[in-house]
Amino acid sequence: MSHARRRVTVLGSTGSIGVSTLDVIRRNPDRFELYAIAAHTSVEAMLHQCLEHQPRYAVMTDEAAAECLRQQLPASCPTEVLQGDAGILQAVTAPEVDSVMAAIVGAAGLPSTLAAARAGKTVLLANKESLVMGGHLLMQAVRKSGARLLPIDSEHNAIFQCLPVGDDATPSLRGVSKVLLTASGGPFREWSLERMATATPDQACAHPNWSMGRKISVDSASLMNKGLELIEACWIFDLAPEQVEVVVHPQSIIHSMVQYRDGSVLAQLGNPDMRTPIAYGLGWPERLDAGVQPLDMVATARLDFEAPDEGRFPCLRLAREAVAAGGTAMAVCNAANEVAVSAFLAGELGFTAIPAVIEHTLGAVPAVEPTSLAVVESADVEAREVAAGYVAKARRQWGPRSELN
């Protein structure tokens, strides 16, 4: 059976999700055509991707990087280089584009994800911050345009696979009592608070199971990643926060579960490789070759579970409080976390001070109704200013790697 090739735009193509997406596309040349790729400043990686995949467009959001890429691309390469927000907008809204992989890290990914949804595209959502910040706006855009929203985060993709889904990719909660989000527990799962206070960025980024970028690795270590995923699950699947339970599962083999009223629990299992959910999203409703080794249940031998310790990992509690507060509180929570994580990675803040920055910012920035993108972006800016001020004050009082205790 032949299929029309789907044209795909990959935002954040030089990051870990982007690279894995290009690998899946490479393995299925009869199914996909790469329309555009986009990155911020990674010229060398973009040059390599342009030469190998020869997309129609390559977008650099940084103008100097765009000019550098233009100078380095040989005349034999058909790729046209675009730049800035206008280039991103063209890459996601062009009539020729069928699917958009939204994998720009952090708050910066919201405008492009929203534009793709408003244009009625199939949005492969790997940028959880888009829903955390602007969930109301994004889901409203999906409903209005008829866009498809397919979750790529391994946990939400697993939930999606365990739910009945209609032809329009809308999941049903018929018979569902709750969903269970699994968390590896990260590299500090067994560390004491005192030991975590001395943690270095490299230790926080040494995830035991997954290969990820540094920002999301720190989020995983603090369990803020699971807090953001809790918020994301509420938006994607129209769940109340109390219908989402976080369960620590150190092996990262069960990616999430759905519990039904009759006592059944459906789980999606697989080796921890992001190419599996990426391939499922790209090929939905069909299954594609993802290049992932099948799971050996005998070699796996055991699956362990435990409750998260919110005393040692308060970021999970803060995310729940942001959901309860509603409005722009979730955007404020996300912005404060991004500032704190950036400071930690730069050696300016201790690991256990990250939740203190978030809690202070949530208390200082009032939540308002997110009626427009401008309102959300304004809350984001204010939260970043408050969080940065708190970090700067802590550095003056206690020096670098401050714990704010």
123's tokens = 């949005």
CA distances from 282 to 43, 79, 83, 210, 285 (A): 26, 23, 26, 21, 9
Q: Cβ of 358: how many Cβ atoms within 10 Å?
A: 32
Distance CA 115, CA 151 (A): 17
Distance CA 194, CA 192 (A): 5
Strand 122-125 vs strand 148-151: parallel, antiparallel, or unpaired? parallel
β-sheet with 244-248: strand ranges across: 244-248, 176-183, 254-260, 265-269
For all residues of the chain together, what is the average pLDDT?
A: 94
DSSP-assigned states of every residue in 123-161: EEE--HHHHHHHHHHHHHHHHHHT-EEEE-SHHHHHHHH
Model pLDDT for residues 32-83, shown as the tens digit of each residue:
999 999 999 999 999 999 999 999 999 999 999 999 999 999 999 999 999 9
Q: For 6-151, CATH number?
A: 3.40.50.720
Model pLDDT for residues 318-350, shown as the tens digit of each residue:
999 999 999 999 999 999 999 999 999 999 999
pLDDT at 405: 44
383's tokens = 């939260």
Distance CA 81, CA 316 (A): 41
Domain residue ranges in the chain: 6-151
Q: Sorting pLDDT into bands at 50, 70 and 90, what band is 399?
A: low
> How far is residue 399 CA from its own chain's centroid?
32
Task: Name the phi and psi angles at 342, rounded to 5.
Answer: -60, -45
Nearest of 372, 370, 388 to residue 331 by alpha carbon: 370
CB 100 within 8 A of CB 11: yes
Amino acid at residue number 108: A
Model pLDDT for residues 137-179, shown as the tens digit of each residue:
999 999 999 999 999 999 999 999 999 988 888 899 999 999 9
Bridge partner list, 171: 165
213's CB contacts (< 8 A; 6+ apart) are 15, 16, 105
Across the chain, which distance is largest between two alpha carbons, in Å? Answer: 67
This prediction has a pTM of 0.91
**pLDDT above 70 (res 398):** no
Distance CA 1, CA 128 (A): 35
Model pLDDT for residues 239-257, shown as the tens digit of each residue:
999 999 999 999 999 999 9
Nearest of 281, 325, 251 to residue 8 by alpha carbon: 281
Q: Cβ of 222: how many Cβ atoms within 10 Å?
A: 30
